[in-house]
Amino acid sequence: MQHAGTEIVSAVMPIIERWKHEEGPLLPILNGILREFGYVPREVLPAIADALNLSRAEVYGVVSFYHDYRENPPGRHVLKVCRAEACQAMGGDAVAERLQELLGITFGETAADGSVTLEEVFCLGLCACSPSAMLDGEVIGRLDEDKVQEIAREIRA
Amino acid sequence: MMRKIYIPRDSGALALGAEKVARAIAREIGLRGVEAQIVRNGSRGLYWLEPMVEVETPTGRAAYGPVKPSDVPSLFDGNFLSGDAHPLFLGNPEEIPFLARQTRLTFARCGITDPVSLADYEAHGGLRGLRNALSMTRLQIVEQVTESGLRGRGGAGFPTGIKWKTVLDTSAAQKYIVCNADEGDSGTFADRMIMEGDPFVLIEGMAIAGIAVGATKGYIYLRSEYPHAEQVLNEAIAVARNAGIVGKNVLGSQYAFDMEVRMGAGAYVCGEETALLDSLEGKRGMVRAKPPLPAHEGLFGKPTVINNVISLASVPIIMDKGAAYYRDFGMGRSRGTIPIQIAGNVKHGGLFEAAFGLTLGEIVDEIGGGTATGRPVRAVQVGGPLGAYFPRALFDTPFDYEAFAAKDGLIGHAGIVVFDDTVDMLKQARFAMEFCAVESCGKCTPCRIGSTRGVEVLDRLAKGIEPSRQIEIVEDLCNTMKFGSLCALGGFTPYPVMSALTHFPEDFRPQPVREAAE
């Protein structure tokens, strides 16, 4: 859901207020916005810069540095698939291929129907039950064809 | 009699269905009207048996696993609440060879207790280290840690006591304890397990560190990929604050120490300590040049102890049982125990805490039981994405900081990823370069440019374009990155690349030659 610019800025003000007097407030603010909206709308950056007495460039520099701070609203589901070595060792590349095929999108994309955003992640700490993924915050280990199909079904439902 | 049923809330167990199992057991308890209480514990770390459900019986714990929701009615039918036999019956979990062979010091409680029950924590030896520390001078605490021989478990292996002494010796109005919980290395999950399974031990370790060096504030910098750990830590910190373990007067003493969890945002390089400090300050996670050391000018320019989760979580047992007790485990200059994480294509994957000194072969073949696929083990990456690939020929290498360094490898955070004979080492080498290119903070040229060039060169090699020339360039690039990078990201990426090239040269030969050789 795309919010109107001013509406979204006023919606993030409580998050900014909550943190602005704490030490190192910028990441907690951005993480709070991410949790609330699922992305970090770039139109809120000037308000953050003002509140923290930073330049807009500084805030933009931080936002663009971290993988989590996606610029656009994600799909209804977010599927993060681990691509790191412990998952590679257990056929993770094939699982990743299969998921892209079933969902009809590649990593970094959101499905046209808004059902899902597919992202790569480098290690979920589930390396003794690989390959692994995280669907809307829920972890899934030992991905195989059955589990991959189940994920695709849940996303389409 | 009220029976306790333990079902892990550890994310590894959750990934294998523990939540559904817990729901099925709760439903069955209701349906059958039996007197039983579900406790959500951490994991013992035997992941091939997860979800592993344990029942407290008069003769000790009885374990069952791996349990599927559909197994639950039969468990009740078979009277598992009394520890009776069942096809999934594993006996007393402590007698399972994988656990029985371990020396659990840091992970003594993990998988046994309710992670957010302070009563459980104390009943299993918790807080004794902190109480001892409160009866000592700051210098005595630091000396205990130094004498224990504890070295940074995050990977660098720097003596923890020396870091602490440096911070103790500075004078500043504010000092900090920062816990590096940005466990980004593939193949590692010890930090996650302890944070989810026994968070009080980390809280206790940080409080001891704070008292020892005169720091009043602690931060746990936790990676965003670990939402379950975040939840457990926040629950535990709230419990600890209520109980006066952290706060204005730690356990009623004159020392103040409080702490909070701060989340990262998906940047591997923030596991590097100075990049982590910049990130905590709200900046891009850029690596700082050293000196100044974080011990002198760390978080917000103040003296800061920055330690890995396992380093801090090992302090309570040292302060409880004494430096000599801990130091007596291990070999050479690697003292105490190390939680080895056995991962990837392995039959018995999980956490194996043991004194330093096991050989790589013992870990992979005996303890890990070889590959999960049943094919021969071809390569083992030790120490995460920046660690070397070891061939079988080096399986006699003992698990020890210096022994691994002598074989051009590193133990890092002690994660071991096993690969079978289908692995393509040229592809793994390319991945190492690509990962470095994606995650580089960009501050220094060897890492930023070298990794991108490395990908290009390996791609040309894969296409068979002037192969010997490409290998020469890769070697040269690796040399530049190793000696010219500011931190371990650029500096250690050559380890996986060069080890792949050195130990598995057949994978780097042009295609026609490779096919002919097969």
Tell me B85's DSSP state.
-
CA B172, CA B431: separation in Å to the nearest integer? 44
Structure confidence at residue A7 as a pLDDT band (50, 70, 90): confident
Mean pLDDT of A22-48: 97
Structure confidence at residue A50 as a pLDDT band (50, 70, 90): very high
Tell me how crowded residue B100 is: count the other CB atoms within 10 A of its CB: 10
Lowest-confidence segment of B149-153, B322-326, B430-434, B512-516 by average pLDDT: B512-516
Span B456-514, pLDDT tens digits: 999 999 999 999 999 999 999 999 999 999 999 999 999 999 999 999 999 998 765 55
Distance between B439 CA and the closest CA of chain A, angstroms: 9
Q: In this model, does residue B1 exceed pLDDT 90?
A: no
Q: In this model, does residue B72 exceed pLDDT 90?
A: yes
Helix (H), strand (E) at residue B98 = helix B97-100
Contacts of B280 in chain A (CB under 8 A): 24, 27
Q: Where are the domains of chain A?
A: 2-65, 77-156
Structure confidence at residue B2 as a pLDDT band (50, 70, 90): confident
CA B305, CA B210: separation in Å to the nearest integer? 9
Mean pLDDT of B287-311: 97
Span B409-426, pLDDT tens digits: 999 999 999 999 999 999
Distance between B58 CA and the closest CA of chain A, angstroms: 32
B14 close contact with A: CB closer than 8 A: yes
pTM for the predicted model, two decimal places: 0.96
CB contact under 8 A, A128 and B184: no
- Residue A26 is nearest to which of B282, B350, B431, comparing CB atoms? B282
Contacts of A142 in chain B (CB under 8 A): 15-16
Contacts of B227 in chain A (CB under 8 A): 137
Task: For B134-163, give one letter per residue: b (16+ CB within 10 A) or e.
Answer: bebebeebbbbbbbbbbbbbbbebebbbeb
Report the pLDDT value the prediction gives residue B512, as an integer from 0 to 100: 58
C-alpha B387: how far from chain center: 14
Distance between B134 CA and the closest CA of chain A, angstroms: 28
CB contact under 8 A, B350 and A128: yes
Span B333-353, pLDDT tens digits: 999 999 999 999 999 999 999
Distance between B231 CA and the closest CA of chain A, angstroms: 12
User: Regarding the domain with residue range A77-156, which homologous superfamily does it belong to in the CATH classification?
Assistant: Glutaredoxin (3.40.30.10)
Q: How many CB pairs under 8 A join A and B?
A: 149
Q: Are B112 and B124 in contact (CB under 8 A)?
A: yes
- Residue B344 is nearest to which of A28, A61, A85, comparing CB atoms? A85
What 3-state class would DSSP assign to B259? Answer: strand
Q: Which residue of A has its CA nearest to B428?
A: A85
CA B402, CA B261: separation in Å to the nearest integer? 33
Tell me B170's DSSP state.
S
Span B120-142, pLDDT tens digits: 999 999 999 999 999 999 999 99
* B 207-236 near A (Cβ less than 8 A): 224-228
Q: In this model, does residue B119 exceed pLDDT 70?
A: yes
Span B232-255, pLDDT tens digits: 999 999 999 999 999 999 999 999
| The three-state (H, E, C) secondary structure of A94-152, written as one string | HHHHHHHHHHCCCCCCECCCCCEEEEEECCCCCHHHCCCEEECCEEECCCCHHHHHHHH
Report the pLDDT value the prediction gives residue A1, as an integer from 0 to 100: 47
CB contact under 8 A, B186 and A142: no
Q: Are B11 and A140 in contact (CB under 8 A)?
A: no
CA B22, CA B44: separation in Å to the nearest integer? 17
Mean pLDDT of A106-131: 97
Distance between A132 CA and the closest CA of chain B, angstroms: 8
Q: In this model, does residue B518 exceed pLDDT 50?
A: no
Report the pLDDT value the prediction gives residue B189, as an integer from 0 to 100: 98
Distance between A129 CA and the closest CA of chain B, angstroms: 7
Mean pLDDT estimate for chain B: 96
Report the pLDDT value the prediction gives residue A4, as an integer from 0 to 100: 61
- Residue A66 is nearest to which of B16, B265, B345, comparing CB atoms? B265
CA B477, CA B19: separation in Å to the nearest integer? 48
Q: Are B248 and B230 in contact (CB under 8 A)?
A: no
Reported ipTM: the value is: 0.96
Structure confidence at residue B260 as a pLDDT band (50, 70, 90): very high
B268 close contact with A: CB closer than 8 A: yes
Residues of chain A with a CB closer than 8 angstroms to some CB in chain B: 23-28, 30-31, 34, 52, 61-62, 65-69, 80, 82, 84-90, 121-130, 132, 134, 137-142
Distance between A106 CA and the closest CA of chain B, angstroms: 17
- Residue A129 is nearest to which of B47, B188, B283, comparing CB atoms? B47
CB contact under 8 A, B344 and A140: no
Mean pLDDT estimate for chain A: 95
Contacts of A141 in chain B (CB under 8 A): 12, 15-16
CB contact under 8 A, B12 and A25: no
Span B170-216, pLDDT tens digits: 999 999 999 999 999 999 999 999 999 999 999 999 999 999 999 99
Backbone angles phi, psi at B445, to 5 degrees: -65, -45
Report the pLDDT value the prediction gives residue B514, as an integer from 0 to 100: 52
Tell me how crowded residue B483 is: count the other CB atoms within 10 A of its CB: 10
Handedness of CA A98, A103, A104, A107 (dihedral sign): negative
CB contact under 8 A, B14 and A85: no
Q: Which residue of B has its CA nearest to A86?
A: B344
Helix (H), strand (E) at residue B168 = helix B160-168
Nearest to B495 by CA among B377, B427, B410: B410
Residues 6+ apart with CB under 8 A from B459: B430
Distance between B376 CA and the closest CA of chain A, angstroms: 13
Q: In this model, does residue B452 exceed pLDDT 80?
A: yes
The overall longest dimension of chain B from CA atoms, in Å, is 76
B415 close contact with A: CB closer than 8 A: yes
CB contact under 8 A, B14 and A90: no
